[in-house]
Amino acid sequence: MALTNNPVAASNTAFIAIPAAERVFSFRDHAALWFSLGVGLLVMQIGAFLGTALGTQTALFAIIAGSLLGAALLGWVAYIGFQRGLSSPILMCQTLGTSFAKLPVILNIIQLIGWSAFELVVMRDGTTALIKGTTGIDAAWIPYITAIFWGLLLVALATGSMIGLVRRFVGRYGLPLVILSLIWLTYQFFLKAQAQGLDAIWNRAGDGSMSTLAGIDLVMAMPVSWLPLVADFARYGKAGASTFRGTWLGFAIANIWCHALGVLIVSTSNPGADLMTTLLLAQGGLIALGLILIDEMDNAYGDVYSGSVSLNFLNGKFTIRFWGIALALVATGCALILPMHGLEPFLLTLSSVFVPLFGVVISQLAKQGRATDKAVNIVPVAIWLIGITAFHICPMLWPQVGSALPSLAITLLLGTMYRITRAPAVQSA
């Protein structure tokens, strides 16, 4: 599966597919990993926003539709990663060209450092709230100590085996605990909803600040944000069907559950209530929030691991483990000194380049065939740039349709047309 016709590919071991003997991830492993990665406090916050904007029924429709569609795209790229046995940077190379692909790979590393730091900030703020809620201590030094604590834990995880972490910790211990936490929180807020009147909450109207399509687009943002990472894990799958199903179902269920829980929380809370405080005030919320914060570490680790795979592709002199430790330390430093909540719009803008990119990747690599060995694959690059333009222009011209849906549709359509037209030439070659 290596691109041996290209000197760059021939000299880089990252282009070698994972051998069958190392492909150990079953359906359960994929589902556990992606369910765990799909759970997060940010997802609940988005669900709360959707509940306010769209109302209960429309928000739930947008959540289900956006989760199933977005997770299906995630599963599709996972299947491509399994099929070729290659990481995400190599899929970018096979689509855009071995030299030009370094641009999105570098952009991906930057965004992964940012999102790793952002996850540490979420864990820092959550832990600070836990300490304040249990002890009453609200000292200025606590956020720094908690950020360092979570950062050092992330460094420790980076020293270990990704496969071992997924199969031993996430699958056996982490997943059952986080599921129990979600069940408990869902039960507690359902009791509050029942006390306030289920009919009133079910028929609760939104404020009209968002269309249904824009809501679906927003829900899709979570699964599609993982598109640049999924192949790094999926290449270790045992079978294509189990890789696709495990990735799709695992993430879709978690995404639906956490978004819907956010809708339930905002529907039963006072207007403007802080999500973290509301969770803490729930019966058993202290323990449940603590377990969800621990689960947030999986998200940070996923970012760090994928970033280290990309850095290893760019510079194979150092191991993935070395790069993982380095990235974890950098992310910890960023969490300590940068205003991460102010940087969130920048990170979201940076993420926008990967939605159309993987529309192109899917259109070019969905079927087995000869990947490009060119330094720059001009037509896919042009389609990618068109997709980025559509991602940013569509919300200004048609705010009701969002960004991801039109961008993906355009890149998938143009990319598929290009693949079909070049197929005879490839076969004759």
- Residue 55 phi, psi dihedral angles, 5° rounding: 90, 165
Structure letter (DSSP) for residue 145:
H
Environment class of residue 196 by beta-carbon count within 10 Å: exposed (0-12), middle (13-18) or buried (19+)? exposed
Helices assigned H by DSSP within 269-377? 275-281, 285-314, 320-337, 340-351, 354-365
The domain segmentation of the chain, as residue ranges, is 25-428
Model confidence pTM above 0.85: yes
Q: What is the pLDDT of residue 3?
A: 46
Asked if 66 and 216 count as a contact pair (C-beta separation under 8 A), the reply is yes
Asked if 262 and 50 count as a contact pair (C-beta separation under 8 A), the reply is yes
The string of DSSP codes covering 188-241 is HHHHHHHHH-HHHHHT-B--SSS-HHHHHHHHHHHHHTTHHHHHHHHTTBS-HH
Q: What is the pLDDT of residue 195?
A: 92
Q: Which among 166, 17, 182 has a CA at the least distance from the CA of 90?
A: 17
H/E element, 397: helix 378-397
* Tokens 């529309």, located at residue: 359
Dist CA 194 CA 146 (whole Å): 37
Dist CA 316 CA 46 (whole Å): 38
Dist CA 66 CA 69 (whole Å): 5
- Residue 103 phi, psi dihedral angles, 5° rounding: -60, -55
Dist CA 298 CA 34 (whole Å): 10
* Tokens 């006390």, located at residue: 195
- Measured in whole angstroms, the distance separating CA 85 from the mean position of its chain's CA atoms is 20
Report the first-to-last Cα separation within the chain, whole angstroms: 18
Return all residues near 269 (Cβ < 8 A) that are at least 6 apart. 278
Q: Is 9 in a helix, a strand, or coil?
A: helix
Dist CA 372 CA 135 (whole Å): 59
pLDDT tens string, the chain, 429 residues long: the values are 444 455 555 556 778 889 988 999 999 999 999 999 999 888 998 999 999 999 999 999 999 999 999 999 999 999 999 999 999 999 999 999 989 999 999 999 998 998 899 889 888 888 888 888 778 888 888 989 999 999 999 999 999 888 888 877 777 777 888 898 899 989 999 999 999 999 999 999 989 889 999 899 889 988 988 999 999 999 999 999 999 999 999 999 999 999 999 999 999 988 777 777 788 777 777 778 777 877 888 889 999 999 999 999 998 888 999 999 999 999 999 988 877 666 667 766 777 888 899 999 999 887 765 566 688 899 999 999 999 999 989 888 888 888 888 998 999 999 999 988 876 554 444
294-308 burial by CB neighbour count: b if 16+ within 10 A, else e? bbbbbbbbbbbbbbb
Dist CA 128 CA 157 (whole Å): 22
Domain covering 25-428 in this structure, CATH number:
1.10.4160.10
Dihedral sign computed on CA atoms, order 295, 162, 328, 34: negative
Structure letter (DSSP) for residue 166:
I
Q: What is the pLDDT of residue 347?
A: 66
Amino acid identity, position 87: S
Q: What is the pLDDT of residue 341?
A: 64
* Tokens 């956490």, located at residue: 258
Query: Both tokens of residue 230?
Result: 């999924």
Query: Both tokens of residue 199?
Result: 């009919």
Q: What is the pLDDT of residue 370?
A: 56
- Measured in whole angstroms, the distance separating CA 407 from the mean position of its chain's CA atoms is 18
Q: Which among 220, 227, 234 has a CA at the least distance from the CA of 79?
A: 234
Dihedral sign computed on CA atoms, order 202, 204, 209, 211: positive
The string of DSSP codes covering 115-142 is HHHHHHHHHHHHHHHHHHHHH----TTH
